[in-house]
Chain A
Amino acid sequence: MGGPLRRFRFAVPYLLLAPGLLWLTVYYVYPAVQMFIASFWSGSLSQGYTFSLSNWTNYTDAIARYEEQFVRSIVFAGLATLLTFLISFPLAYTIAFRGGRYKNLLLFLVIAPFFTSFLLRVISWRTILGDDGLFLGPLKGAGVVPEDFRLLATPLAVITGIAYNFLPFMTLPIYVSLEKIDRRLLEAGQDLYAAPFMTFRKVTFPLALPGIFAGTLLTFIPAMGDYVNAELLGQTPSTRMIGNVIQSRFLVNNDYPTAAALSFVLMAGILVAVAVYARLLGTEELTSGV
């Protein structure tokens, strides 16, 4: 039985891989190559593009022109990531250590809001933060804040919007790494007369680092590229992020070379940030949390 099958055993994993990896090669790798080529184009969509290596100035021009938006994206994404961490850590900690038999239910409650459309969540925030919304309406009615005070169209609205929308990407990895901690290590800390906070600082927190690392990356990367929050909650030049620029260069201005160059700078920036961050936090095992 299985004569021919057995002879080609070594080929089985490759046959299983082939369709999926082929799809990713054609629709992930090849487009990236195409975009790299496009970043060296000159010309316009209507008159046709020409490729030339001398068009590397597309990169320098794009960076010089949109430096402000790049810096803003880093600041907004960084602050939003910090905010998600501050919200997520105690939350993940409580679920992992105090959740008891409600652990799964609590986890479900954390993820459930993300079962609805991303855009609808942003629009809900627009309603909540609105000029006469849930917060400002009553405050203005009571005369606590001036009539013309706004939350919308401020960096704060955009940052909190991003923080909200990417929260589970932070909470879940932290939860997973806390959950994995061997409880006997914590008992050992107590037996050695460490105060609860000391045990937390010396045992729990270091063991949660892989989850924090993964969570930070999973939040920071999409936050850097996000433009929906800035578009719907910001809508002002002072909240414009690099994603908004790439989006409008591609879809409104048809300025493919600049947009492609910007996308590559964004991608390269993220890769560098990830590498530096991995180096800072240290060991290889950190990436195993990803």
Chain B
Amino acid sequence: MTARPIDPRTAPLRPTVAQRLGRWLSRYGLFVYTGLAIAYLMMPIAIMILFSFNKPVGKSNFTWVKFSLDAWLNPFGALGLQDAVVASLEVAFVSTLVATILGTLVGLALTRYAFRGRSATNLFIFLPMATPEIVLGASLLTMFVSIGQPRNLLTILIAHIMFNISYVVVTVRARLTGFPRHLEEAAMDLGATEWVTFWKVTFPLIFPGIMAAALLAFSLSIDDFVITNFTAGQTVTFPMYIYGSYRIGVPVQVNVIGTVIFLTAVGAVVVSTILQRRDRGA
């Protein structure tokens, strides 16, 4: 075989268009794809926010008519919306509080103690998350009907605490594995009692994990429709209000509340991330 020296006169000075396109794609293709995917994910949110400034003709808010601040200036202008939002917030706060306490205790037991039945407990905690929501809601409804318990705010709360416990356990457990136990031992060596060690050393260290779990529980609760629909009776929460008004036309105010919830959640995550960074930096 004879190697032919490259003739500078015939060798292409620049790669062909196809080659350049191929090279560009292999370098940037994934980033372009990611950008498109994120745009796709954000699109419904953008639409929700945009349509909170709409002034629809008639009741349905599905076609853009013209820009207006009406809904923002009167966010509870739609009949019954305020009660629904208040009910949702009440349920979310109380269920988050209870589920976070119960779930954190379970998470502590699972990560810090070796005991009989530990793997069975792990499985048991996983089961409610693997059960479709409709089955969870339906079985609670069946139980409430069979024991003659009327459905109201209390039954919604019971249901929300139930499905939130597992999520709290899983989140807290993830943050607790790899916990620096030697810090606790150091505190005890320095004469701190178990109680003092827990509140002065352990709790501050696991607090970010507990906060993350509480945030997750809150957002799951305030967003839940399926289980709530089965356990609510006549009580109306915010998601149920949306569902109920769907046939007659969702008021623009719903988009305003949705936007506020979205921005609050994003804000909470940003703040908690910044706080955690600062803690880690210290």
Contacts and interface: CB of A to CB of B under 8 A. Distances in A.
B230 interface: yes
Interface in A76-133: 87, 90-91, 93-95, 98, 104, 106, 108-110, 112-113, 115-121, 123-128, 130, 132-133
A16 B106 contact: yes
A132 B262 CA distance: 26
Interface string B27-65: 000110110011011111101100100000000011100
Nearest to A161: B44
A178 interface: no
B262 to A, nearest CB: 4
Question: Interface size class for chain B?
Answer: 35 or more
A43 interface: no
Contacts of A19: 101-102, 105
Contacts of A224: 132
Contacts of A217: 130
B262 A263 contact: no
A98 B26 CA distance: 12
Nearest to A36: B139
B242 A120 contact: yes
A222 B51 CA distance: 28
A115 B261 contact: yes
A32 interface: yes
A93 B30 contact: yes
Given A13-B115, A130-B63, A260-B138, A115 B265 contact: yes
B246 to A, nearest CB: 6
A256 interface: yes
Contact of A228 (B126, B138, B226): B226
B250 interface: yes
A32 B30 CA distance: 46
B25 interface: no
Contact of B225 (A12, A118, A127): A118
User: 9 closest Cβ contacts across the A-B interface?
Assistant: A225-B132, A124-B44, A115-B265, A13-B113, A31-B139, A16-B109, A20-B102, A31-B143, A116-B262
28 contacts: A14-B115, A20-B165, A24-B125, A24-B128, A24-B166, A27-B158, A87-B40, A90-B34, A90-B37, A94-B31, A104-B273, A109-B41, A109-B42, A113-B42, A116-B259, A117-B223, A117-B242, A120-B44, A120-B254, A124-B43, A221-B130, A226-B134, A227-B134, A251-B141, A267-B131, A267-B135, A274-B130, A290-B126
Given A24-B166, A119-B242, A225-B135, 18 more contacts: A17-B105, A17-B109, A21-B106, A27-B161, A28-B162, A34-B142, A94-B31, A95-B34, A110-B38, A116-B258, A117-B238, A119-B225, A119-B239, A124-B43, A133-B63, A221-B130, A251-B229, A270-B132
Interface of A: 1-2, 5, 10, 12-14, 16-17, 19-21, 23-24, 27-28, 30-32, 34-35, 37-38, 45, 87, 90-91, 93-95, 98, 104, 106, 108-110, 112-113, 115-121, 123-128, 130, 132-134, 164, 167, 217, 221-222, 224-228, 232, 243, 246-247, 250-251, 256, 259-260, 263, 266-267, 270, 274, 290
